[in-house]
A and B are shown apart, each in its own frame.
Chain A
């Protein structure tokens, strides 16, 4: 983007009341311009205002963003001078730089940033490290080598980075670059306009453009998971060992194991005779085993049909699926019939694999991986056993005429645990931001918006965890809203994980919310997002009446009754862990 275009975008941006703080000890100059312009370009109509603190005002910036601006995202661009003033091309002074001085500077900077991040806990803080090429020449050796002082300064800066990361700061990974020496001397800003744009774009992409994390990776087998054709070459004729032509496939499989550990569901979809494949998968000398796959299809059907079946089995939408195949015709068929699925062709050359790994890592990226994410595949296995159990019991119990669909849950030993301090659990926001189907309004929150909402007087956030006789589901439901002075609960959002559909958790949460707050009414916003049919059906089925402002209204008594009916039918147990209850709710314990 040309500077003139950036200035124009920044000048005419329609700013909202939110801010983005840009902190650095150098003159932010073009970085400020490009940051404001990129925000205006990518967030039109809801552009945050970029706040800066001027040349050599890092301390003031840290103070302000740890107090009055602490709820808003901050971007801190460190420079070598922040470690020690002598690490500057512009003013290194007469004294020789000593490693002990650098260590003192590192301790100071680390301390400042630790306090800053602790004060900003819950808010998004992004950090950019200075490139090694910005270091002044400190050592006696050739610039083609790194001397003791350059190594020392770099190591200390990485120490700072490690502390920043441990304290929840998010480090941006930027390509290395050369110092724009003329720009530095002219303006005091070491960043060229091009470098400024790179930083601004990466920050806005990572901090503001929330993309739903993909949930499942479906791979072909022959030519994708290994080199060779299992039906022709047999399991012994395949290549996936860490040498020769099997090497990239071996690394790919190890990468899939890593993704599985981060909560990504793995599946395969292969045109093969099942008998040629399934008996051998566990005995092959490769990183993946059959049990690593949450679902699979091994037949001669269309791949798009198989992907549909896999998505249904995993209970995820097509747009949460990534598919990799070496056959361009198969990929074309999938793209034609399932355009929502992201597809990649298996690399045909060694040099292409890295780009695939980076693309996959980006699609499956998450700042934090919870224990629930890590156990997702195992939970899915629990789910299969549940489904099998219900199917097995259907002919025996059979629903009586007019019975609710919940009768079959009686023997599942369902137990819901409620918590009223869910603002403090990062999983609450994660669940709200990734749930599409049971989602009242489709509203998403950025981290600072969530922190601001949590500070609203009367705001509450409840969560519900579910378990049954097969194991834990983890947190499956989040309800947030305010309790107003007229004793009405005004919900802002209610989401339910699709894994917990059909268990009645939503009835329990609404009922307990009404019971424990003693509210007269529950006001529920409902907006058709095109994807939230389950949420609509729940609200419409409650017997609510619609108010003129589009909210749905149910009396507290009716909400309690709906939950109690469900509990009677299912024998579901409710536990409350309401230690920091907002609004004031009792410590009820039932079930």
Chain B
């Protein structure tokens, strides 16, 4: 889990370099830079770097760092059987 959150944190920071505060608390509502472009980049970055495919529901539910971590965990579990 820590490995996933560390990796995910690096992705979030790289994709929203101007955002401040603890990454673990970043949400769509409290980040001014969480726009549609960031959202699209985040989807691609997660899929490329964790080698998973997000579902349509995942994409809708991807509204915070915490949610992203949960989604990635779930997809990794599905992928690894």
Q: Is the CB of A7 within 8 A of B14?
A: yes
Nearest B-chain residue to A182, judged by Cβ: B56
* 0/1 string, A187-204, CB within 8 A of B gives 1: 100000100000000000
A145: interface (CB < 8 Å): no
B67: interface (CB < 8 Å): no
- The residues of B that contact A193 with a CB separation of less than 8 Å are 44, 48
Tell me whether A4 and B11 are in contact in the complex, defined as CB-CB below 8 angstroms, given that A29-B40, A187-B40, A193-B44 are known contacts: yes
Q: Is the CB of A3 within 8 A of B59?
A: no
Tell me whether A186 and B59 are in contact in the complex, defined as CB-CB below 8 angstroms, given that A3-B45, A193-B44 are known contacts: yes
Q: Is the CB of A2 within 8 A of B49?
A: yes
Tell me whether A4 and B40 are in contact in the complex, defined as CB-CB below 8 angstroms, given that A186-B59, A193-B48 are known contacts: no
Closest beta carbon of chain B to A185's beta carbon, Å: 9
In the bound complex, CA of A187 to CA of B37 (Å): 9
A30: interface (CB < 8 Å): yes
- The residues of A that contact B37 with a CB separation of less than 8 Å are 29
Q: For chain B residues 48-71, which have a beta carbon within 8 Å of chain A?
A: 48-49, 56, 59
B15: interface (CB < 8 Å): yes
Nearest A-chain residue to B40, judged by Cβ: A187
Closest beta carbon of chain B to A2's beta carbon, Å: 5
B41: interface (CB < 8 Å): yes
Closest beta carbon of chain B to A20's beta carbon, Å: 20
In the bound complex, CA of A446 to CA of B11 (Å): 37
Nearest A-chain residue to B36, judged by Cβ: A187
Closest beta carbon of chain A to B46's beta carbon, Å: 10
In the bound complex, CA of A29 to CA of B15 (Å): 14
Nearest A-chain residue to B55, judged by Cβ: A182
Q: Which of the residues B11, B14, B44, B59 comes within 8 Å of A30, measured between beta carbons?
A: B44
In the bound complex, CA of A29 to CA of B43 (Å): 13
In the bound complex, CA of A328 to CA of B45 (Å): 45
A162: interface (CB < 8 Å): no
Q: For chain A residues 23-42, which have a beta carbon within 8 Å of chain B?
A: 29-30
Tell me whether A4 and B49 are in contact in the complex, defined as CB-CB below 8 angstroms, given that A30-B44, A186-B40, A187-B40 are known contacts: yes
A579: interface (CB < 8 Å): no
- The residues of A that contact B41 with a CB separation of less than 8 Å are 3, 7
Q: Is the CB of A4 within 8 A of B59?
A: no
What total of chain A residues lie within 8 Å of the partner, measured CB to CB? 12
In the bound complex, CA of A29 to CA of B17 (Å): 18
Tell me whether A7 and B15 are in contact in the complex, defined as CB-CB below 8 angstroms, given that A186-B40, A186-B59, A187-B40 are known contacts: yes
Q: Is the CB of A8 within 8 A of B14?
A: yes
Nearest A-chain residue to B43, judged by Cβ: A186
- The residues of A that contact B17 with a CB separation of less than 8 Å are 11
In the bound complex, CA of A536 to CA of B69 (Å): 65
- The residues of B that contact A187 with a CB separation of less than 8 Å are 36, 40
Q: For chain B residues 4-33, which have a beta carbon within 8 Å of chain A?
A: 11, 14-15, 17
In the bound complex, CA of A182 to CA of B57 (Å): 13
Q: For chain A residues 1-27, which have a beta carbon within 8 Å of chain B?
A: 2-4, 7-8, 11
Closest beta carbon of chain B to A140's beta carbon, Å: 29
A4, A7, A182: which has the most chain B beta carbons within 10 Å? A4
Q: Which of the residues B40, B48, B56, B59 comes within 8 Å of A2, measured between beta carbons?
A: B48
Nearest A-chain residue to B41, judged by Cβ: A3
Nearest B-chain residue to A186, judged by Cβ: B40
Q: Which of the residues B36, B44, B56 comes within 8 Å of A3, measured between beta carbons?
A: B44
In the bound complex, CA of A187 to CA of B39 (Å): 10
- The residues of A that contact B15 with a CB separation of less than 8 Å are 4, 7
In the bound complex, CA of A226 to CA of B17 (Å): 62
Nearest A-chain residue to B48, judged by Cβ: A2
- The residues of B that contact A11 with a CB separation of less than 8 Å are 17
Nearest A-chain residue to B59, judged by Cβ: A186
In the bound complex, CA of A3 to CA of B14 (Å): 11
In the bound complex, CA of A3 to CA of B37 (Å): 13
A2, A3, A29, A182: which has the most chain B beta carbons within 10 Å? A3
In the bound complex, CA of A41 to CA of B16 (Å): 22
- The residues of A that contact B44 with a CB separation of less than 8 Å are 3, 30, 193
Q: Is the CB of A2 within 8 A of B45?
A: yes
In the bound complex, CA of A2 to CA of B11 (Å): 11
- The residues of B that contact A29 with a CB separation of less than 8 Å are 37, 40
- The residues of A that contact B49 with a CB separation of less than 8 Å are 2, 4
In the bound complex, CA of A4 to CA of B48 (Å): 9
Q: Which 8 A-B pairs have the closest CB atoms?
A: A3-B44, A4-B14, A4-B45, A2-B48, A187-B40, A193-B44, A3-B45, A3-B48
7 other A-B residue contacts (CB within 8 Å) besides A4-B15, A7-B41, A193-B44: A2-B48, A3-B41, A4-B48, A7-B15, A8-B14, A186-B40, A186-B43
In the complex, 12 of the A-B residue pairs with CB atoms within 8 angstroms, ordered by the A residue number, are: A2-B45, A2-B49, A4-B11, A4-B15, A4-B48, A29-B37, A30-B44, A182-B56, A186-B40, A186-B59, A187-B40, A193-B44
Interface residues of B (CB under 8 A from A): 11, 14-15, 17, 36-37, 40-41, 43-45, 48-49, 56, 59
